[in-house]
Amino acid sequence: MAPELLKPDEPVVLSEDIDHVRLITLNRPRQLNVISSKVVSLLAECLEKWENDETAELVLIKGAGRAFSAGGDLKMFFDGRKTRDSCLEVVYRMYWLCYHIHTYKKTQVSLVHGISMGGGASLMVPMKFAVVTEKTIFSTPEASIGFHTDCGFSYMLSHLPGHLGEFLAITGARLNGKELVAAGLATHFVPSEKLPELEKRLISLNSGYRNAVKSVIEEFSLDVQIDEESALNKKSTIDECFSKDTVEEIIQSCEDEVRKEGNGWLGAVLKELKRSSPTGLKITLRSIREGRKQTLADCLKKEFRLTMNILRTTISSDVYEGIRALTIDKDNSPKWDPPSLDKVMDNKVELVFQPFQKDLELQIPEDEECRWSGKYENSAYATLNMTDES
Question: Shortest CA distance to 283 belongs to which of 328, 318, 254?
Answer: 318
* DSSP codes, 77-96: HHHTTTSTTTTHHHHHHHHH
Mark whether 119 is an active-site residue: yes
Under DSSP, the state recorded for 357 is P
Q: Which of 73, 142, 179, 321 is catalytic?
A: 142
Q: Which of 63, 114, 119, 177 is catalytic?
A: 119
Q: Which of 57, 73, 89, 150 is catalytic?
A: 150
Distant-in-sequence, close-in-space partners of 178: CB < 8 Å, separation ≥ 6: 134, 189, 224, 225, 226, 227
Maximum Cα–Cα distance for the chain, whole Å? 67
Question: Shortest CA distance to 42 belongs to which of 55, 33, 29?
Answer: 33
Mark whether 249 is an active-site residue: no
Helix axes 296-311, 278-291, angle to 10 degrees: 160
40 burial type by CB count under 10 A (0-12 exposed, 13-18 middle, 19+ buried): buried
Mark whether 16 is an active-site residue: no
Mark whether 262 is an active-site residue: no
Q: Which of 63, 72, 146, 208 is catalytic?
A: 72
Q: How far apart are CA 72 and CA 116, in angstroms?
A: 11
Catalytic residues: 72, 119, 142, 150
